[in-house]
Amino acid sequence: MTDASAPFVPDSPPAQAAAGFARADHCGPAFAALDLGTNNCRLLVAAPTAGGFRVVDSFSRIVRLGEGLATSNRLADAAMDRAATALRACAEKLTRRPVRRLEAVATEACRRAANGQAFLARITAETGLRLRIISAREEAELAMESCAPLLEPQDRRALLFDIGGGSTEIAWIRVPPEGGAPELIGYVSLPLGVVTLAERVHQDCFTERGFCEVVAEVAEHLAEFDRIHRIGQEIRAGGVRLMGTSGTVTTLAGVAMALPRYRRPLVDGKTLDCEAADLALGDLFALGREGLAAHPCVGPDRVEFVLPGCAVYAAIRRVWPTPRLTVADRGLREGMLTRMMRAERAGPRRRPLR
């Protein structure tokens, strides 16, 4: 486990990597968060500011670590090699830009894979990076942490969804009436993400039948979560904000806003009428593979994953119809950075007097 209270110095790294990492007394003011997901490897380096933080460096690469995992229960050699290449690039960035603290996590693919821990041990040996596998609950908590600033005073509850590569996380959140920290009161992790759904040979989301089958399957899972927490009843009472953080919802927002190319500052925090998002979904479905590859908000690397994500979104809309959707282009990395910086400001904990 990476110690979030100490500057990042790799454990037994190769000599060429070790030479570049700063020691504690030379570390700069920046913090780093690394997220190895089922589909992507992402690094965010940021410096604290009065109102949050300022991004000073970033890295993102599609690695498809979970490719074939649903059938084999193991990470494939080619997938691990792709992820290792991306993680070496992250380690090199951290060599060039010293940080005060690093938090590095792995999610669903490494949680599920029989060889997940062995792969992470390989990464430590090759790069010095030590990634810890986080639980689905912590994943939901970190997403909540990053999206909390988007809540507004009139919100009583929030329903936050994150459509990932290997799973979909749903967080049911209580918002204190007087501006306190939001509280996670329920969560569910569905083993249905854009990669696992895209690999199904019997359900092609590019066909109407396959798309509708996925929507029905996901909706069945969500209905059970709804029965436990009575979310639909709360939505009808008012004061519930639907929030989405994933490539699926940011793509829907970009299409709904008719952006000539995707621009994060225009999308992050944007509240859409759900009808506009639904129309954007219809537009994406009508494009087909070639049209999606050419679309400036999609591109060839994400063609296979957009419609499976849209099917999950459509299921969420079916079970929990709301008039508006708040789009968040933020997630685990931002949540980790927020936690680290808050801990830094709080300082070391004092031992209780005996």
Same domain as 255, residue 118:
no
For residue 136, pLDDT beyond 60 = yes
The reply to whether 306 falls in a domain is yes
Report the percent of the chain where pLDDT is more than 70.
90
The reply to whether 145 falls in a domain is no
Distance (Å, rounded) from C-alpha 237 to C-alpha 3?
43
User: Strand locations in 137-291, DSSP E?
Assistant: 157-163, 168-174, 183-190, 240-244, 271-273
Please state at what angle helix 332-346 crosses helix 136-147, rounded to 10 degrees.
80
The reply to whether 9 falls in a domain is no
- At residue 280, what are phi and psi to the nearest 5 degrees? -65, -40
| Sign (positive or negative) of CA dihedral 346, 44, 40, 182 | positive
* Tokens found for residue 34: 């690394």
What is the average per-residue pLDDT within 45-73? Answer: 93
The reply to whether 142 falls in a domain is no
Q: How many CB atoms lie within 10 A of CB 292?
A: 22
- DSSP states of 227-245: HHHTHHHHHHHS-EEEEE-
* Tokens found for residue 11: 């454990």
pLDDT of residue 13: 41
The reply to whether 60 falls in a domain is yes
What pLDDT, in 10s, does the model give residues 249-258?
Answer: 999 999 999 9
The reply to whether 354 falls in a domain is no
The reply to whether 86 falls in a domain is yes
pLDDT tier for residue 4 given thresholds of 50, 70 and 90: very low
The reply to whether 184 falls in a domain is yes
pLDDT of residue 17: 40
pLDDT of residue 349: 58
The CATH number for 129's domain is 3.30.420.40
Same domain as 198, residue 106:
no
Distance (Å, rounded) from C-alpha 330 to C-alpha 334?
6
What pLDDT, in 10s, does the model give residues 292-341?
Answer: 999 999 999 999 999 999 999 999 999 999 999 999 999 999 999 999 99
Distance (Å, rounded) from C-alpha 65 to C-alpha 38?
5
Same domain as 193, residue 127:
no
Q: What's the chain's length in residues?
A: 354
What pLDDT, in 10s, does the model give residues 174-217?
Answer: 999 877 889 999 999 999 999 999 998 778 999 999 999 999 99
pLDDT: which is higher, 2 or 185: 185
- Look up the domain containing 186 and give its range: 150-333
What is the average per-residue pLDDT within 66-89? Answer: 96
For residue 97, pLDDT beyond 80 = yes
Same domain as 98, residue 48:
yes
pLDDT of residue 26: 46
Which amino acid, 270? Answer: K
pLDDT tier for residue 28 given thresholds of 50, 70 and 90: low
Q: List CB contacts of 31: < 8 A, sequence separation 6 or more.
A: 45, 46, 47, 48, 53, 99, 100, 101, 102, 337, 340, 341, 344
- Number of domains observed in the structure of the chain: 2
Same domain as 166, residue 128:
no
pLDDT of residue 147: 95
What pLDDT, in 10s, does the model give residues 258-286?
Answer: 999 999 999 999 999 999 999 999 999 99
pLDDT of residue 108: 94
